Amino acid sequence: MLHIVDDEAVVRDSLSWLASSRGIAATTYDSAAAFLAFAQSGAFDPEGDCVLLDVRMPEISGVAAFDQLAARGLTARLPVIFLTGHGDVPMAVDTLKRGAFDFFEKPFNDNQLMDRVQEGLAASREASGKAAVQARLATLSSREREVLDLILAGKMNKVVADELGISMRTVEVHRAHIFDKMQVKTAVELAGLLK
């Protein structure tokens, strides 16, 4: 989902139309405050989302809104692309350093912008996936982590049992728990997830 935040209705509508022409679903917000309100609600899931944020807006500027998103730890999984009407290279560099995904100066090449938006959506999905794997890894016990590392090294259950000084049977129980917790069925699938 693409979130378009701009105080200018013309810009919102045209960008929304442009996104739909590329098959990208978009919602529009007429102010930073409206978007922040939505981001705070439970309905908001940043996975697979991207934000087009106008820099110059009344009340809360784009940069201030970005800062609030960053404060909530959202910017890691939610790529933000800034739009500005006035070329301001220092500000662009500053926001990119602080984690903005990209920066476009009006007038921009519309399809280039949309390409970038799609990259942003993909990045968001990837970041969300990685976050999920990390969450599952966090549920493993320390013995299970040891077993996991040895499995990833491609060792057979017997070798694992010898190295850790436990019985084959115990290794098999751990292995079953690891597959269960990581929500995979095979070792190959597990290796792909932790690549």
Partner 1 sequence: MLKRISLPSSVRWLLPVVLVLLFVAIVFWLPWQARQLESTERQEQLIADTLWVEQSIRFQLGRHEESLRGLANEIATGHPAPADVQQRMERMLKNGAELKSVIQVDPHGRVVVASEGAPVGAGTNAMLGQSSLAAQDHARRTHSPVYAEPEPLGGDAAPDALKMDLHFPIYRGDQWMGSLVATFQLSSLLDEMVPWWFAQDNQISLLDRDDKVLARRSSAGPGHGVYTHKRALDLPGATITLMTDSVKGEPKLLPNLLVGSVIALSLALLWSLFALWGHISRRLAAEGELRQQMSFRTAMENSLVTGLRARDLEGRITYVNPAFCQMVGYPAEELIGRSPPMPYWAPDVMEEYQHRLANVLAGSITPEFETLFQRPDGTRIPVLVFEAPLVDKEGRHTGYMGSILDISDRKRMEELNRQHQEKLQASARLATMGEIASMLAHELNQPLAAISSYTTGALNILARGGDTAMLKPALEQAGAQAQRAGQIIRSVHEFVKNRESERQDVALQSMLDSILVLIELQARQHHVSLQIELPDSLPLVRADRLLIEQVLLNLTRNGIEAMGDVQPLKRVLRVVAENDPLAGMVVVQVIDNGHGIPQDVAERLFSPFFSTKAEGMGMGLNICRTAIEFHGGTLTHRDNPQGGTIFTFTLPVAGGVK
Stretch (H or E) spanning 15:
helix 9-21
Q: In this structure, what token pair is assigned to residue 139?
A: 């549920």
Contact range with partner 1 by CB under 8 A, out of 11-19, 32-40, 61-69, 186-194: 11-19
Name the pairing type of β-strands 2-5 and 102-105: unpaired
**Residue 168 and residue 112: Cα distance in Å, rounded?**
56
Q: Which residue has the tokens 């790529």?
A: 79
Contact range with partner 1 by CB under 8 A, out of 7-15, 57-65, 131-139, 162-170: 7-15
Q: Please report, as residue ranges, which positions from 74 to 113 form the binding site for partner 1 (by CB under 8 A).
A: 85-86, 106-108, 110-111
CB of 14 to partner 1, least distance (A): 4
* Binding-site member from 1, 14, 60, 61 for partner 1 (CB under 8 A): 14
Burial of 11 (0-12, 13-18, 19+ CB in 10 A): middle
CB of 54 to partner 1, least distance (A): 11
Q: Is the Cβ of residue 90 or residue 154 nearer to partner 1 in the bound state?
A: 90
8 binds partner 1 (CB under 8 A): yes
Q: Is the Cβ of residue 45 or residue 108 nearer to partner 1 in the bound state?
A: 108
Contact range with partner 1 by CB under 8 A, out of 16-24, 25-33, 91-99, 178-186: 16-24
- Which CA distances in Å does 48 have to 56, 59, 185, 186? 26, 28, 25, 27
Q: Is the Cβ of residue 58 or residue 107 nearer to partner 1 in the bound state?
A: 107
Q: In this structure, what token pair is assigned to residue 129?
A: 């996936």
* Binding-site member from 2, 3, 5, 15 for partner 1 (CB under 8 A): 15
Q: Which residue has the tokens 């040891």?
A: 146
Q: Which residue has the tokens 């139309």?
A: 17
Q: Which residue has the tokens 């970005």?
A: 66
73 binds partner 1 (CB under 8 A): no
Using CB under 8 A, list all residues that contact partner 1: 8, 10-11, 13-15, 17-18, 20-22, 85-86, 106-108, 110-111
